[in-house]
Each structure stands twice: as C-alpha cells, then as structure tokens.
Amino acid sequence: MPDGRVRVVPSLLAADPADLRGDLAAMAAAGARWASVDVMDGHFVPNLSFGPDLIRSLKRDNRVRLDAHLMVDDPAVLAPAFAEAGADWVIFHLEACARPGALLRALRDQGVGTGLAVKPGTPAARLLPFLKEVDLVLVMTVEPGFGGQRFLPAMLPKLRTLRAAIARSGRRVWLQVDGGIDAASAPLAAEAGADSLVAGSAVFRAGNPAAALRALETSAQRAFLRSTGGATCR
C-alpha cells in the first residue's frame, strides 16, 4: 500500500536473461522490495518475454514482491495464471480488455493486487472510472514493447491528472510509470505524482546497479516530497 515513499521497481526485462535470479537477489540486497516482470505476446506489442513459470520460480526463494505487467491481446485468458503463480500484482492494459471491471473482480477473488495500464495515446479519463477498483494505475511513458527508449515528457500532465484524481478518491492507489526512467526523468515523474517508477536499463546497465537503484530512489523521493509538500501516509 502506498505510504509516501517512492519505490524504484527494477524491470527484469533489462536484467541478464541467463541470471535473472542472481540479478533479482542483487537488487534485493540493494534495498529493492519490488520488481516488475514484463509479459509480452508478440501481438499487443512487438516482442516476446516471460511467462507465469518465471514468477513461480522466482517466488520460491526470495521476498521481493513481483508485479506481472501483461502486454497481451487477451489478458482475461492469461491473467489468472499469473495470479496463481504468485504475482503480487497483475497489471493489464485497458486497451486490450473488453470487460476490465469483470477481470479486476476476478483477480481480486484470487487474492492478488490489481492494476490497470494505459499506453501513451490513451487519455487519463479512461482510467478514472476504475480508481475505486484498482490497487495501481500504470502510465506508460514510452510506447511499450522494448526497453531502452526515451521518456516521453508529454505524459507528465497525465500523471498530474491521475494523482489529483487518486487524492480525490480517498484511496491509496499506486501511480506507476514505466518507460525511459533514468536519472533525468525519475524526478520529473515523481514530482508529477508517480510513486512507483519502473526502471530497467538505468539500473541493470549501470556500472554499479545497486548504487544506481539507490540514487534513483533518493532523487525521486525528494521530488515527490516537493510535489506533496512533505506529506506522507502512515
């Protein structure tokens, strides 16, 4: 549950595919308590990646919480498998789901955290009707599919709109961003209201990934506190 602290969430898509377990353990040792698993089907986005067995395996021997970000054509078919595999959150794209409310309810019945994601071209207004049903909303700050892209500053007003709407709702909902998060963009996203920042290349391809993770969290936290006047939730 959001508590006023910004989380930098390492994206395993940018980790060493031959040593995901080792890279995740290194992130945990650096202080990460949450990592993101991108799930891509080659249709909704032009790339292929991980399945539920990866989450099942990684959850056996670590305490890092995992979100499954489903970038797939029919999330209603795949989402239950990721919940069953042990994902702490299952996030799916509003653009890909004909009945998002029904899928959110089904996931809650499985006891998993729920999230809705939108691509850059989808307005914030489409997420607003679901704020009372989700634990997390995700704004893509690049076109999804591949890591290493540049952050889209045009997404900052969308973040501000959603942060204000979350505050009005009276609920604690994570506002997550994914795409192009680095030393320059992390404070911008946090100052606009994001409190969960998915970072891939900026962490795993740094000379010192642990130090990069901590530096991103520090700068993002300062920016987030500026935007909230120093208020936190306890």
For 7-227, CATH number out of 3.30.70.1400, 3.40.50.150, 3.20.20.70, 3.90.1150.10 equals 3.20.20.70
Give the pLDDT confidence of 139-190 residue by residue, as tens digits.
Answer: 999 998 777 789 999 999 999 999 999 999 999 999 999 999 999 999 999 9
Q: What is the mean pLDDT of residues 89-112?
A: 97
pLDDT band at 234 (very low <50, low <70, confident <90, very high): very low
Question: What is the pTM assigned to this prediction?
Answer: 0.94
User: In this prediction, what percent of the chain has a pLDDT beyond 70?
Assistant: 98
- Classify the phi-psi angles of 122: left when phi > 0, otherwise alpha if psi is within -120 to 50, otherwise beta: beta
pLDDT digits (tens, 9 = 90+) for 123-132: 999 999 999 9
Position 87 pLDDT exceeds 90 = yes
Could you tell me where the beta strands, DSSP code E, fall in 96-195?
A: 113-118, 136-140, 174-178
Average pLDDT over residues 50-73: 94
User: Is residue 8 within 8 Å of residue 226, measured between CB atoms?
Assistant: no
Residue 61 has pLDDT above 90, yes or no: no
Q: Decide if pLDDT at 91 tops 90.
A: yes
> How many Cβ atoms are within 10 Å of 190's Cβ, its own excluded?
30
Strand partners, 198: 9, 178
Q: Strand (E) positions, the chain? A: 7-10, 34-40, 65-71, 89-93, 113-118, 136-140, 174-178, 196-199
Quick check: 191 and 163 in contact, CB under 8 A? no
Tell me which residues are annotated as active site: 38, 178
Q: Locate 109 and state its tokens.
A: 């019945």
